[in-house]
Amino acid sequence: MKTKIKSSLLLGILTLGTIIGFLALSVGIASATEIITVEPSGGDDTANIQAAFNAAGPGDTVQLTAGQFYTNEIFVTDFVGTFKGAGKGATKIDVLRGLDESLEGVSIDYLTKSTHLFTFFGGDVHISDLIFDITPYEPANVWGPDPPGDPPVVWYDLLSVILITGDLNSRIENIKFTGHEGTAVYDDPEHPLFSEKTYNVRVGVEYGGGPPTTGSHIITDCEFNSLWLGITAWGLMNCELSIMSNSIKGGAIGIINVANINSKFKISGNEIEANFKASIWVMKFIPSPCQWLITRNTLRPSIWADGIMLEDYTGSGAFEAVVSHNKITLDDTIWGGIWTLMLQDAYISNNIIRGTGAYGIECDFSINNLLLGNNVQNVDAFWFPIILYKSSNCVIVGGSTKTSVADFAGSNNIIVGMNNMQGNSPGQEIQEAMELKRELIQSFY
């Protein structure tokens, strides 16, 4: 009996030791990830950065130290790991032109080549703690062929700083993207931004960009300064994208979301300035279900920009959008706060709209939308605070009697508790302004 007890005890100790040893080995294997460090060379860092990504295994970190880096295109495939700097104020990345102003850097012909500084194709990537400050090309190029009949000139020095594409997950945070004005001008006197400066970087972060892109994506706590576009998403399929707590200032358009399939989007807590088209611009061209939650953003459109534009060109039914609790300050824009076109079943509620724009909210050709509790005051309107134009079944509930609602050529609309200005059709000036807006939108396609 004693022998059996001793044998059982010994066997238990050996078994426990084996388990502990196995766990220790497992932990050792799990923790055997590498930090691949890259230091600035003082010259062209492209090869060193690309080599670090090529050498990285699953779970590894490509770590840029503090300092100034200069690079051409970096293409990363199926990277599962972290790409980071030493901090948003410590690690800076520029194109090669920053080394020598005579270098072309990544300047391209937009119609023949799509150039992105960092492309992540497939994988699972976490990007953080960097500054991208892109040196512009001089002298300035004009927008379009110059002279007429010649091949198109460069539109932007760089199509995007970061491209996220393919089958992957991503998280981008604590990054500053800085472009510059003055690298090109509009040469068409009829263009609404004639004589206005454009920007050397087209977009800070682009999701999709052509190839089908899937997965879960988050971008948060980033700064975008003086870029033509801050963040774009197009060609996403079965995706979830959260754009939260970012600052987008000094550029033309804040966020564009277009031509996506069966995807969900949350745009929340961002501070966005825009001087052309919109701070947030959503367009649906594919008859596939998508969902948008646009909430608690602080928007400041100016010149030729709306705060939020929502457009559905599919005629396929529900847009599935909730636009709520946004604060929109119209900063001397000839457009307005929220504009919708051919939208169905959207919910627009509790938004605060102030400033010197043309209108607070306008619904064109929209069906079954619910506008509830929106606060539109002090808009220097040549229209009305809220406009229903050729729309039906728009339901407006709540609001103040100080807010006027104009229903032009609509049917079955219900206006409750507000100052109903239903009746006359818009005058010639208003009709011309609306037509101009539609032509501007169509000119982009």
Q: What is the DSSP string of 326-371?
A: -EEEEEEESS-SEEEES-BS-EEES-EEEESSS-SEEEES-BS-EE
The whole-chain average pLDDT of the chain stands at 79
**For the ranges 26-40, 279-293, 351-365, which has the lowest average pLDDT?**
26-40
Give per-residue pLDDT as tens, 296-310: 999 999 988 999 999
Question: How many structural domains is the chain composed of?
Answer: 1
Give dist(CA 182, CA 137) in Å, integer. Answer: 9
Check whether 6 has a pLDDT greater than 50.
Answer: no
Compute CA 172 distance to the chain's CA centroid, rounded to the nearest angstrom: 12
Question: Residues 255, 283: contact at Cβ < 8 Å?
Answer: no
With b meaning 16 or more CB within 10 Å and e meaning fewer, what string describes 211-224? eebbbebbbbebbb
Check whether 3 has a pLDDT greater than 50.
Answer: no
**For the ranges 151-155, 207-211, 261-265, 347-351, which has the lowest average pLDDT?**
151-155
> pLDDT-derived band of residue 146, with 50, 70 and 90 as boundaries?
very low
Greater confidence (266 vs 285) lies with 266
Task: For residue 401, tell me if it sits in a domain.
Answer: no
What's the confidence (pLDDT) of residue 427?
52
> pLDDT-derived band of residue 429, with 50, 70 and 90 as boundaries?
low
Task: For residue 73, tell me if it sits in a domain.
Answer: yes
- Its domain, for residue 37, covers 33-347
What's the confidence (pLDDT) of residue 157?
67
- In order of 180, 187, 243, the CA distances from 140 in angstroms are 12, 12, 32
What's the confidence (pLDDT) of residue 253?
92
Task: For residue 270, tell me if it sits in a domain.
Answer: yes
Task: For residue 19, tell me if it sits in a domain.
Answer: no
- In 221-317, DSSP assigns E strands to 223-225, 229-244, 247-249, 253-258, 264-268, 271-284, 291-295, 298-312
Task: For residue 121, tell me if it sits in a domain.
Answer: yes
Give per-residue pLDDT as tens, 64-95: 999 999 998 999 999 999 999 999 889 999 99
- Strand 91-94 and strand 327-333: the pairing is unpaired
Residue 211: CATH number of its domain: 2.160.20
What average pLDDT does range 44-70 have in this prediction?
97
Task: For residue 383, tell me if it sits in a domain.
Answer: no
Q: Name the burial class of residue 311, with classes exposed (0-12), middle (13-18) and buried (19+) by CB atoms within 10 angstroms of its CB.
A: buried
What average pLDDT does range 307-334 have in this prediction?
88
**For the ranges 36-40, 189-193, 215-219, 390-394, which has the lowest average pLDDT?**
189-193
Residue 276 φ/ψ, nearest 5 degrees: -150, 130
**For the ranges 242-246, 269-273, 382-386, which has the lowest average pLDDT?**
382-386
What's the confidence (pLDDT) of residue 383?
62
Question: Residues 415, 387: contact at Cβ < 8 Å?
Answer: no
What average pLDDT does range 3-27 have in this prediction?
45
Residue 399, token pair as written in the block: 């609001």
Task: For residue 358, tell me if it sits in a domain.
Answer: no
DSSP-derived secondary structure letter, 152: P
Share of the chain above pLDDT 70, in %: 67
What's the confidence (pLDDT) of residue 1?
39
What's the confidence (pLDDT) of residue 358?
82
Residue 309 φ/ψ, nearest 5 degrees: -120, 130
What's the confidence (pLDDT) of residue 391?
60
Task: For residue 16, tell me if it sits in a domain.
Answer: no
Check whether 377 has a pLDDT greater than 60.
Answer: yes
What average pLDDT does range 370-388 have in this prediction?
74
> pLDDT-derived band of residue 380, with 50, 70 and 90 as boundaries?
low
pTM equals: 0.82
Compute CA 83 distance to the chain's CA centroid, rounded to the nearest angstrom: 20
Check whether 177 has a pLDDT greater than 50.
Answer: yes
Give dist(CA 349, CA 427) in Å, integer. Answer: 28
